[in-house]
Structure 1
Amino acid sequence: MAASLVNVDSLRLLVVGRWLLAASSYDFVPALDSCLLNHRQIFDTITTLDLEVEFIWKSEMNIMKGMYFVNRYSAILEFLLTCLRLLRVEGVIYILGIYIAEYVFAKRTSVIWGKSKMVLIPLCLYYIGTFIYNFISYYPILNNARSDLPSSDLWIAMLLLVAYDAAMIILISLAAINMWRRSGRFHSHLFRVLYGEGVLFYLYLLAFSIMSLVASKVSNPFLFLFMGRCLRSILASRVILHIRQS
């Protein structure tokens, strides 16, 4: 009896050990994380479907409406591409999804600052520069080389994202402080949507960007990569919904 229990325990340890070994591989983490991402994305889509129907579907077609649909549903497309092992195509969709979400955040920040050129021009230059860098680095057709997954320079992209998120927090915080000093409308719904959620959302994004940066250097670079992508998609969608609701 004791011997059989030992064998069962040994078998359990063997199964757990093999699972941990698989989890540490680069092939397993993107698939698992993308699966979890898809469930989170679908759950958020369902919980906000009433707002989406009311404020997105029924509105006239424009750039922001198109951005909303691409941002919202490209994450689900990523899951399907990962399941089909089309990682190169999925990588392109990933980069596009990140920058579409960032476009939404940057657009709001620009509006908050009254479309000031002092804010708008640096944001545009940084946005375009990092976009070009990421595509040249990770899409082999553009750099005439076979780029590796994950890239050894992934930490650079993560560092750029950390700097961008930190800058956004500073910009929104300064704008919120200035508006509060002028009008004192700290408790208005629009103030909470534009400024309160803006700072809070970017704190979440900055935390995930920092974790992705650390993971890219000391652990599996995919550990927080897809969760950060999912979070940006969800928060960008909620930004559009909440602003239109206001």
Structure 2
Amino acid sequence: MSAACAIVARGLQKKFGAVTAAADLQIEITHGARVSLIGSNGAGKTTFVNMLTGYIKPDAGEILLDGRSIVGLAPRQIARLGVARSFQIPQLYKDLSVQANLLAAIAAQQSALSFWRPANHPESVVHADEILQRFDLLAHADRLVSELPGGIRKLLDIAMALTRQPTVLLLDEPTSGVSADEKFPMMDTVMRALEGSRTTVLFVEHDMDIVARYSERVIAFYSGRIIADGSAEIALAMPDVKRYVTGEMIAVNDHA
């Protein structure tokens, strides 16, 4: 195993009854990589993410985070080790301002590290404003979350996840619920905010335009197995991906 790997999965297996959700998965992901996990519903990508975050325990195999085994640890323990997750539906306090949400995330992180200070402590406010600036959110600092468009809410949710300075950031369908006009500017902002960071970013994404534009690497799942693993250009052109992933998605969208 290379010391450059943030995540190593070896021999991961998981079944739900007769359904195989993970069939001997072997995955290595380096620090700072930008990786999309794709596949139709039930393909196994979400099971892999849930095993990585501790919500599901594999039947067999191991997962290493920075060389440390995390199988059997609780989600909160894995989060403390450096795995942050931004959900498809943003986990925000809608009746608080943008800045207040970020301050709450910073306070929660300090509490997790057994280091507490008031949420409005001057150092916390400075830290929050630095993050808001990185995400082009400073102009929205005093707005209530309930007033924000979908793209801005997603940016805030991702910004809050990054207050933990994670080793791994999991983005669950980051452009879901975001308008077509917002999705590329939003993702451009996220990628700029992460520029130069060693944070490994995993996207669970169904939008192939987003996958092609922002991924250095694509891992495609089907029936609990990996059917493609490579650059976006190569992986998305593979026959099995066209048949089992992008083809199915196009068919679903056409009948939606």
TM-score (norm 1): 0.28
Which has more strand, going by share of residues? Answer: 2
Q: Which has the larger radius of gyration?
A: 1
TM-score (norm 2): 0.27
Which has more helix, going by share of residues? Answer: 1
